[in-house]
Each structure stands twice: as C-alpha cells, then as structure tokens.
Amino acid sequence: MYRILFNLVFRRMDPERAHHLAFLAIRMIPMLGLRRLVRRFTQPRRDTSVTTLGLRFPTPFGVAAGFDKNATAILGLGSLGFGHVEVGTVTAIPQPGNPRPRLFRLIPDRAIVNRMGFNNEGATAAAARVAKVRRVRGRPIVGINIGKSRVVDVADAVADYRTSARAAAPVADYLVVNVSSPNTPGLRDLQALESLRPLLSAVREEVGAKPLLVKIAPDLADDDIVTIADLVIELGLDGIIATNTTISREGLFTDQQTVTAAGAGGLSGAPLAARSLDVLRLLRAHVPPELCVISVGGVETAQDVRDRLDAGATLVQGYTAFIYRGPFWARAINRGLDRLPASV
C-alpha cells in the first residue's frame, strides 16, 4: 500500500513538503487518542530490550536525529515502534536553516541528500517539550542531539554547546554532541583532536552524570576514528554514534544529472551502509565492551539491524528508509527481529 502511495503521490511531491505531511500525521496519533492502539500493533512480541547508558531500551531500534528536529512528535514515533527517539539537532540560538530546496531524493539508490542546516526552534524550546513528554507513561527513550549555532564562530563553539547542554541535560535521557554534519560551515573541523578535547570536556562538565555521546562522520580516516575513540574513553564519555551523513557521491546508481542537481549536502541511506558497518567494526574492536556504540547509516531491514547488533552495535538507528518504507517501517523491523535468532 505505501509503495503505491509513494510512487503515485510522494515521489512527485517536494521531499520537504512530503516530510511535513507525514510528520503531521505522526503527531496526530496521540492527539487522536490512538497511541495505545497503534502501540499494540507495532511493538515487538518477544523481549528484544537492551540495557545501556543506565537505561532500558524496549527495542534496539530507534529513530536518528534529523527526523524530529523540534521534539514535537516523540510520542507518535514511539507509538510507531521506535524504542528511542533522538531529537534535534538543536542549537542554542534558534535558526531557520539553509534556503530551500534543501532535501532531495535519489530514488534508485534509496537515498537522500540533505543540506537542512540545523533548522530548529532552539534548545530551550525543545527541552520544554521533552520535559512534558517525560511525564507520559510508556514513552520512548529520548535523546537530545546538540550542534553549533550557525552564527557562532568555531572559536566560540564551546560556550555555544555549553548553552545547549545546560538546557537539554536536565530533561534528556541521554545527550549527543554533533560535530559531524556537513551542512554547518566549520562544524566538522571540531572533530580535530585539538578542538574536540576542550569541547567534549566542557560539555561533560556541564551535563554531569547524564549519559553523553559524540556523533562522528563516516568520511574520517580510520586513524582519526581511533583517535576520537581514545579521547572518548579518556574523557569518560558514555558512547559514540557512528555515523552521520557522508559528502561522498561514489558508487551511486542515480544518474549524474540528478546527483549534480541535488548539489552539496549530506548523503544518507543505502549507499552509506558499507562504510557505516566498517566504522562500527573498527570502533567495536577498539573500545571496551561496555561503551555504547550506536550504529546508523543505510539501515533498512530487520536483517540490517541484526547484522549491526552482531557486529557489536549496542543500539541501531535509522531515518532515510522511513521515506521509502513508510509509517510501519519500525513495526516491520521489530517483528522481523522477533523472527530472527538473537546473537550468541
């Protein structure tokens, strides 16, 4: 049904407009009193829960940052079967993001290119919404992903991240420092050790005992990934999210004219799967087993999730396949995991 709807309607519609329409429908689930009914249909039948970061995740599969930028659809997404929702990326200063169009489908690759640019209403507004959700029974785990405000110079990034962390930490179940989006000028420069150390140290100090993770880019060299992993261990962070979108356009099936027309931005979806899995294996071979490693990038099926878990992921996230699989994507993964054998 959804495939027919996608081919007849959504693929002919501006991708960002289609996203907003789908997002509105998801937000309506709790508003219409359908949350409990939908949850019964989407949750795993057997226990696939994961305990990490001092939290119990009802399923290892969650929705990655970027889908719910302003923390307005957490309960609806939880109802659809996501065990955790990572909201954001939010910034200390509200910002509109980059000019439209800024979201593009590469349908033959089951991928998207985005240059959204952290469009969000600010960390304070998101934190207020998360605070309300925390009081709801049966809510999903909620992470808040924080990034640099565009108007803030890279030299002043530490104070900017501190402001976001101060707003988000009291209400988030876990916090993520995003230094890996390609859509904010200078942001990826913060992955360099001399910049990353003071930034992560400052946020760690700001959030206290709150679980803290850092999200890295797939375009880093393997040696740089290991260096960041060492820093995470040294500073006592709780985990790493691997990976963000890529600036690479290698190996695509989509015709070059369409790819060129999409322009700059982060590529996500199926083309990212191999590199994301490689980074996961590299990290898991290097970090202690108790460190939380969340794998994201090119995940579409229950088998993909199982493969990531078998490769050492603590949790798995997805986003892009939502566009191609539809609203019951998380349900399909949860029910698929029910049927697949667990890792030994």
Q: Is residue 173 part of a domain?
A: yes
Tell me which of 127 and 34 has the higher pLDDT. Answer: 127
42/276: higher pLDDT: 276
Is the distance from CB of 117 to CB of 174 less than 8 angstroms?
no
What does the pLDDT read at residue 218?
Answer: 95
Q: Is 124 annotated as a binding residue?
A: no
Say if residue 84's pLDDT is above 70. Answer: yes
Query: What confidence tier does 343 reach under pLDDT thresholds 50, 70, 90?
Result: low
pLDDT band at residue 28 under the 50/70/90 scheme: confident
The total number of structural domains that make up the chain: 1
Residue 344 lies in a domain: no
Above 90 in pLDDT, residue 36?
no
Can you give the pLDDT at residue 3? 79
**What is the model's pLDDT at position 40?**
77
Q: What is the pLDDT of residue 59?
A: 95
**Confidence at 342, pLDDT banded by 50, 70, 90:** confident
Report yes or no: 305 and 59 within 8 Å, Cβ to Cβ. Answer: no
* Annotated catalytic residue 164: no
Please write the tens of the pLDDT for every residue from 246-301.
999 999 999 999 999 999 999 999 999 999 999 999 999 999 999 999 999 999 99
343 secondary structure, DSSP code: P
Q: At 4, is the pLDDT very low, low, confident or very high (cuts 50, 70, 90)?
A: confident
CATH number at 276 reads 3.20.20.70
Is residue 78 annotated as involved in ligand binding? no
Residue with tokens 């179940």: 173
Question: Within a domain: residue 271?
Answer: yes
Mean pLDDT for all residues in the chain: 93
Question: Does residue 303 register a pLDDT over 90?
Answer: yes
Indicate the pLDDT class of residue 21, thresholds 50, 70 and 90. confident
Cβ atoms of 207 and 175 within 8 Å: the answer is yes
How much is the average pLDDT of 188-207?
93
H-helix or E-strand containing 85? Answer: strand 84-90
CA distance 330 to 321: 10
Q: At which residue do the structure tokens 């970061």 appear?
A: 53
Residue 245 annotated as binding?
Answer: yes
230 is in an annotated binding site: no
Q: Does 116 appear as a known binding residue?
A: yes
Owning domain of residue 174: 2-339
Residue 2 has pLDDT above 80, yes or no: no
pLDDT digits (tens, 9 = 90+) for 100-141: 999 999 999 999 999 999 999 999 999 999 999 999 998 999
- Phi then psi for residue 249, to 5 deg, are -125, 25
Residues with Cβ within 8 Å of 333's Cβ and at least 6 positions away in sequence, in order, are: 61, 81, 301, 302, 305, 318
| Residue 119 marked in a binding site | no
Could you say which of 79, 149, 181, 268 is catalytic? 181
The confidence score (pLDDT) of residue 268 equals 97
Is 7 annotated in some ligand binding site? Answer: no
- Residue 46's pLDDT is 87
